[in-house]
Amino acid sequence: MIYICKKICNKCGRYYICKTEQNPDRYEGSGTDWRKHNMECSRDHTTEILFFGKTEEARKFCDQYEINYPYYWKNKNCLNMIKEGGGYNNTDTSNPNYKHGKAVGWKSNPKVQKENDRERNCFFHKENKEHERARMKFYYYLKQKNKIKGQIWWMKWLKTRKNNNGGAEIKKEYFEIFWRHGIKEAEKILKKKQGSRGSLESFFG
């Protein structure tokens, strides 16, 4: 079953038209501009299912959608780089990612999936280079038990941290929690405490 979806950002209203065989509500979209927007603005979006059916019918729907909304991908609020074609042809201009050569049909082709994962990871590390470096340095000094330098790099990590996915609120005075538990576990503790409105005083005794 092919789904043609419209992902709408709940924060700013910009949208992205995409195709998936996955659960459409869980699928986040693979377009480069859309992924970048989610990292910078919000990962909170609403999914509107425009069509579901077989591949050939999906292509026809996309053609009709283009007729109803000519050049929709050029709209300033649309984050598609080119129209969604609804098919699997990786060489045709119907490929929604044709402009930058990214392949579609990843679910049915492990090689395509592997290449997509490699590109996504490369994009992530490029966009988060300073943040990842600060995180790794903090862990290094944590293992070395060098608290002064550890705090310096933790502050750099905090400064570059993007909290767009409903994570815990982190303040400078929470450093001791991170020094005691590490970043991943400390974030879980804070999120749980904040969710239950519990007290953090026990961490600063």
Q: Dump pLDDT digits (tens) for 99-128.
A: 444 444 545 556 656 666 676 667 666 777
Q: Is the pTM higher than 0.85?
A: no
Question: For residue 68, is pLDDT > 50?
Answer: yes
pLDDT computed for residue 196 by the predictor: 60
Q: Which residue has the tokens 């953090």?
A: 200
Q: Measure the CA–CA gap between 181 and 84, rounded to whole angstroms.
A: 46
What are the φ and ψ backbone dihedral angles of 8, each rounded to 5 degrees? -115, 120
Residue 200 pLDDT > 90: no
Give percent of the chain with pLDDT exceeding 90: 39
Structure tokens at 134: 């600060």
**Element spanning 3, H or E:** strand 2-9
Report domain extents, the chain.
2-127, 129-197
Residue 166 in this model has a pLDDT that exceeds 80 = no
* Alpha helices (H) in the chain, listed in sequence order: 32-40, 55-68, 110-127, 129-143, 147-160, 175-181, 183-195
**77 band by pLDDT with thresholds 50, 70 and 90:** very high
**Using one digit for the tens of pLDDT, what is the confidence trace for 9-65?**
999 999 999 998 888 888 888 888 898 888 888 778 899 999 999 888 988 999 899
pLDDT, residue 203, reads 47
pLDDT on residue 108: 53
Q: Which tens digits make up the pLDDT trace of 96-107?
A: 444 444 444 545
Number of C-alpha atoms within 13 angstroms, CB side, residue 145?
0
Q: How far is CA 152 from CA 146, 148, 171, 189, in A?
A: 10, 7, 14, 22
Between CA 61 and CA 183, with CA 45 as vertex, the angle to 5 degrees is 135
Query: Do 4 and 54 meet the contact criterion of CB atoms below 8 Å apart?
Result: no
**Distances from the Cα of 8 to the Cα of 5, 39, 131, 160, angstroms:** 10, 14, 28, 26
| pLDDT the model gives residue 92 | 43
C-alpha torsion 186→187→189→191, nearest 10: 160
| Average of per-residue pLDDT values in the chain | 80
- Per the model's pLDDT, the better-predicted residue between 194 and 143 turns out to be 143
